[in-house]
Chain A
Amino acid sequence: GAGVSQSPRYKVAKRGQDVALRCDPISGHVSLFWYQQALGQGPEFLTYFQNEAQLDKSGLPSDRFFAERPEGSVSTLKIQRTQQEDSAVYLCASSLVGSRSPSNNNEQFFGPGTRLTVL
Chain B
Amino acid sequence: AQSVTQLGSHVSVSEGALVLLRCNYSSSVPPYLFWYVQYPNQGLQLLLKYTSAATLVKGINGFEAEFKKSETSFHLTKPSAHMSDAAEYFCAVSDRGDKIIFGKGTRLHILP
Contacts and interface: CB of A to CB of B under 8 A. Distances in A.
Interface string A1-13: 0011000000000
B99 A45 contact: yes
B107 to A, nearest CB: 9
Contacts of B98: 31, 33, 48, 55-56, 98-100, 106
Contacts of B42: 112
Contact of B104 (A41, A99, A107): A41
B49 interface: yes
Nearest to B32: A106
A97 to B, nearest CB: 9
B26 interface: no
Contacts of A55: 98
A99 B56 CA distance: 24
A67 to B, nearest CB: 14
Interface in B60-74: none
A112 B99 contact: no
Dominant SS among interface residues on chain B: loop
Interface string A26-67: 000001010100001111110010000001100100000000
B103 A42 contact: yes
Contacts of A111: 43
Contacts of A117: none
Interface string B34-53: 00100001111110010100
Given A41-B104, A42-B102, A112 B97 contact: no
Interface in A65-111: 91, 93, 98-101, 104, 106-108, 110-111
Interface centre among A42, A45, A55 (most CB of B within 10 A): A42
A110 B45 contact: yes
Given A42-B103, A43-B90, A91 B97 contact: no
A48 B104 contact: no
Given A42-B105, A45-B101, A111-B43, 16 more contacts: A31-B98, A33-B100, A35-B102, A40-B104, A43-B44, A43-B90, A43-B102, A56-B99, A99-B97, A100-B96, A100-B97, A106-B97, A107-B46, A110-B36, A110-B44, A113-B43
